[in-house]
Structure 1
Amino acid sequence: MKNNLYYPFVSLSDEDIFTEIKKEREDIGYYSLPYVDTSVIKSRLDNLDFKQKQIAIIGIGGSTLGTYAIYNFLKYNKQRNKTLKKELFFFESTDPINLNGTIAQLNLEDTLFIVISKSGTTIETISIFKYLSSIVKMNSQNLLVITEDDSKLNSFAAANGISTFEIPKNVGGRFSVLSNVGLVPLYLAGFDIDELLKGARKISTSFFEQNELYNQLLKKARTYYEYKDVYNINAIFSYSQLLEGFNKWYIQLWGESLGKIDANNTNQGLTPIGLLGPVDQHSFLQLIVEGKRDKTVTFIKIKDFKDDTKIAPITLEGLEDLDYINGLNFKELINLQADATIASVKEYKKDIPIDLIEIEEISEFEIGKLLFYYELLTSIVGKFLRINTYDQPGVEGGKIILKEMLKKKN
């Protein structure tokens, strides 16, 4: 009797996973990005000496989501402290109303355009670039290109004397925020890219030197893996509008990286959801608390907003019963709302897996930590699932079909 068994999913130890992640660093480029010397990037950009007050980033997905996450998190602090050198605008969608609405916000003659595409042939990006090129003259004085060094977009730039910054081939788009994709526009806008990378390095060091985050990340990733058939929806509940961009970035990172066919030809995947508190306390929280038990929840709080705006200590006729909130700082209110929500889930519904991430303050260092933490967590979960975390064949199929449809259309 012949009995062949194909069970590739032998339960792996934390040590096995750690060994594989360390080995992966030799080929997957995002692991090395926190250690990049930024002096070359800064020197080149300083020498180019762009004077424009606005920056328009043309790209989609991994080319824009990470940069937007950082910009959205920090821009109000930068504006308040008058350290924001240039305002960023994002052209991501082929929605014509959105496209022209964004254009209406720009002074086109005082805008630096940055086209970002790893492949250099992204349909959405090139379509928008073509349209903008038809209404404003672009040249070396108001245009930058960020792409792979052998892409068609790079060839266009070389033929027209346009400065280019490289995206390394071994850095995937959704893991590229700490490469030139994010560093170039953020530096031009006045952000401290060294602090951004320093935050990412802190996470990397803590994990790879097997300090505090080593056990935390492995335990969290193992929990997602071992309970994936029960809790297959992972919600991030961010208590600040400043984290709206981060939520969008996380959804792409988690969904596109982990939704794969594994080594046993089985469909795998964890579904990401991005929620904002307190807004979604009045919508999605009901589903979490009394809905189907298929969700984990990660709460994210900002410990110190460094803003002392208070609820006005006034009495409004008919609303006297709510005077107990008078004089309370809004930063205290939003964190108390987060604490109350966490308590309601944790204390009364003990079958919902939750965890809490606390961000110290609104800074480049802190957002750098958060971004790299989730990149690393994604890679570890991918190892447990026995998938290729870094490809996206499901997306590529749609691109091929679209290309054929467009050719037939013309």
Structure 2
Amino acid sequence: MIRVQVDGAQPWVSGEALRRLMSQLEAAQGRLWDPKEDEGKKGWLTWPEEDHGGLWQEVEATATEIRSRADVAVVVGIGGSYLGARAVTAMLRPGSEISGSRGFPVVFAGYQLSEGELLRLMDDLDDREPALVVVSKSGSTLEPGAAFHLLRTNLERRYGHQARERIYVVTDPERGALREYAVEKGYRRLPIPPDIGGRYSVLTPVGMLPAAVAGIDIRRVLTGARRGWEDCRRLDLWGNPAILYAAARHLLYLQGWMVEALVTYEPRMADFSRWWQQLFGESQGKDGRGLFPAFLHYTTDLHSMGQFVQQGRRLLFETVLDVDGASAPQPAAGEPPDPRVVIPDDVDAASAYLAGKRLDDLQEAAMAAVMEAHREGGVPQLWIEAKGPGEELVGELVFFFEAACALGGYLLGVDPYDQPGVEAYKRKLKARLLSGPVAGV
């Protein structure tokens, strides 16, 4: 269940302002659900309720094969080809890095160009039995392309011809350089639907194969996404959380607020915040329009950005994402909490008021106090409360944000599915690399 509250954004997001926006919201919702609108770009919208035949059996079988052949999976991708997978695995299998103790280790590469980072990863893999999962629609993106071929070469040195049995490719099923290369090499392939862009692809094999490898029940994730699909179909301001969230953001944007800070209180939400940032940044930041999507992780960032948020220039509003169960597993009714997270009685005088309290008590108190202080400081706040079983809730959250993002793009008057701005630096970078010896700035 996802609930959006806008009371903390008064007077900017008032009932009257929302009512005045209703005709635009109806038009945006109509465009979103019109199958002829943006045809070929909205496959994500109907994905949760469609029958995908044997695709999920194939994904699960591939994940089982990877886990039987390897003891760590390296997912190579960038942007939408890795952020969603990383968000899901971090939320549901925290600590599933190489040294982690939960689930099957899944690590990520190909999202930057640091030699040092890649060499450290290769060193870590020397004592392991790795598999590569390469995720790219075209195969032409610089960072994952470079990392893939370096990691592939490393595997081939170690395993020879059998290295191909450790390489899996998620790519366009019909065309593209990576598809052609995978066919030539005999790598096992899974499809990226041609009508779904990277940042909207979490619920496809792009995100679900790494999740399944990590030991996550992807069927439950998809069940949650279907619930989100059902909720987001409604043309109901108060019954459709995606419409209310998109409307509140748009009203704040129209009144001069320039930055939306997604606030989370659990470290495992950090990668979800990065996925959210790409989703909204690439979908809405164009034609000189759009909110700047930032994220803050409290309480840590209160000790670096808390001063600015409380008393700095009034340019940002907060969207507090309160995810039920994002902390440690809660004790069953009637059972005491884990004593390791209960502060003992024998504390120093300055900490006496903490004695007997568990860390989650402090977290809840901090959230309430921070929200109250920031509201009094003139910071508008939206609050998104998300409750439900872990895997299902993640699927529901993903679809909710995707729907709200697309609606917001229509309200802004921009195409929420393209990203022409990123091509500018790519053209210049490719020209430099093709011109001969690499020159710096």
AA aligned to 1:333 is L
CA RMSD of aligned residues (A): 2.5
Q: CA deviation at 1:227?
A: 3.2
SS in 2 for 1:227: helix
Determine helix, strand or coil for the equivalent of 1:393: coil
- Please say if 1:117 is aligned against 2:136: yes
Once the two structures are superposed, residues 240-274 of structure 1 have per-residue CA deviations (whole angstroms, 9 ceiling, x without a partner) of 0010001111111111111111xxxxx11210111
Residue in structure 1 matching 2:308, options 281, 287, 290: 287
Query: In 1, Cα distance between the equivalents of 2:129 and 2:394?
Result: 29
Residue identity in the other structure for 1:134: T
Residue identity in the other structure for 1:238: T
**How do residues 162-181 of structure 1 correspond to structure 2 at under 5 angstroms?**
162-181=187-206
**What runs of 5+ residues in structure 2 fail to find an aligned partner?**
1-20, 157-161, 331-336
What CA deviation, in whole Å up to 9, does each residue of 1:178-209 have, x standing for no partner? Answer: 11101112112211111111112212211203
* Residue 373 of structure 1: aligned partner: 400
> How many Å apart are 1:233 and its aligned residue?
0.4
Counterpart amino acid of 2:359? Answer: F
From 351, 366, 383, the equivalent of 2:410 is: 383
How far residue 47 of structure 1 moved from its aligned partner, in angstroms, is 4.8
**1: CA distance, partners of 2:115 / 2:428:** 22
Match of 2:169 among 145, 151, 170: 145
Give 1:222's aligned residue: 247
Greater shift after overlay, 173-182 or 226-235?
A: 226-235
Between the aligned partners of 2:251 and 2:319, the Cα distance in structure 1 is 17
Q: How far 1:46 sits from its partner (Å)?
A: 5.2
Residue 257 of structure 1: aligned partner? 283
Deviation per CA, 1:252-306: give whole Å up to 9, x if none. Answer: 1111111111xxxxx1121011111110121222212211222111112233432
Letter in 2 for 1:250: W
Residues 1:39 and 1:106: Cα distance change in structure 2 (over 3 Å) = farther
Q: Which gives a bigger RCO, structure 1 or 2 (Cα 8 Å, sep 6+)?
A: 2
Corresponding position of 1:7: none
Superposition map of 1:230-245 within 5 A: 230-245=256-271
1:16 aligned partner? 27
Name the amino acid aligned to 1:387: V
In the alignment, is the contact (CA less than 8 A) between 2:190 and 2:205 conserved in 1? yes
Paired letter, 2:136: S
1:41 matched to which residue of 2? 55
Aligned equivalent of 2:104: 86
How much has 1:215 moved relative to structure 2? 4.7
Q: How far did 1:78 drift?
A: 8.1
Secondary structure of 1:136's counterpart equals helix
Q: Displacement of 1:360 after TM fit?
A: 2.5
Asked whether the equivalents of residues 207 and 213 of structure 1 are also in contact (C-alpha less than 8 Å), the reply is no
Name the structure 1 match of 2:12: none
Per the alignment, residue 105 of structure 1 pairs with 124
Q: Which letter does structure 1 place at the counterpart of 2:310?
A: V
Q: Following the alignment from structure 1 to structure 2, what is the Cα–Cα distance between the partners of residues 59 and 242?
A: 20
Instruction: Kindly state the Cα deviation for residue 311 of structure 1 after the two structures are TM-superposed.
Output: 3.1
User: Who is 1:276 aligned against?
Assistant: 297
Normalising by the residue count of structure 2, what TM-score does the alignment of the two structures yield? 0.82
2:5 corresponding residue in structure 1: none
Unaligned 5+ segments in structure 1 are 1-9, 262-266
The 1-side partners of 2:116 and 2:95 are apart by 30
Q: Which residue of 2 aligns with 1:160?
A: 185
Q: 2: distance between equivalents of 1:403 and 1:161?
A: 29
Count of aligned pairs between the two proteins: 390
1:136 equivalent in alignment to 2:155: yes
Q: 1:364 aligns with which of 386, 391, 397?
A: 391
Could you tell me whether the CA contact under 8 Å between 2:25 and 2:411 is conserved in 1?
no
Q: Distance in 2 between matches of 1:407 and 1:396?
A: 16
Go from structure 1 to structure 2 and tell me whether the alpha carbon gap of 1:288 and 1:46 turns closer, same or farther (over 3 Å shift): closer
| Aligned equivalent of 1:297 | 318
The aligned counterpart of 2:228 is: 203
Q: CA deviation at 1:231?
A: 0.7
- Mapped to 2, the partners of 1:409 and 1:344 lie a distance apart of 57
Compared CA separation, residues 333 and 399, structure 1 to 2 (3 A): same
Partner residue of 2:214 out of 160, 172, 189: 189
Counterpart-to-counterpart distance in 2, 1:20 and 1:170? 17
CA 324–299 in structure 1, closer or farther in 2 if over 3 Å, else same: same
TM-score w.r.t. structure 1 length? 0.88
Q: 1:405 matched to which residue of 2?
A: 432
Per the alignment, residue 352 of structure 1 pairs with 379
The residue identity in structure 2 corresponding to 1:342 is M
Identity %: 26
Q: Structure 1 residue 14: deviation in Å?
A: 2.2
Of the structure 1 ranges 47-56 and 187-196, higher mean CA displacement relative to structure 2 is found in 47-56
Secondary structure of 2:384's counterpart equals: strand
Task: Indicate how the Cα distance of structure 1 residues 133 and 272 shifts in structure 2: closer, same or farther if over 3 A, else same.
Answer: same
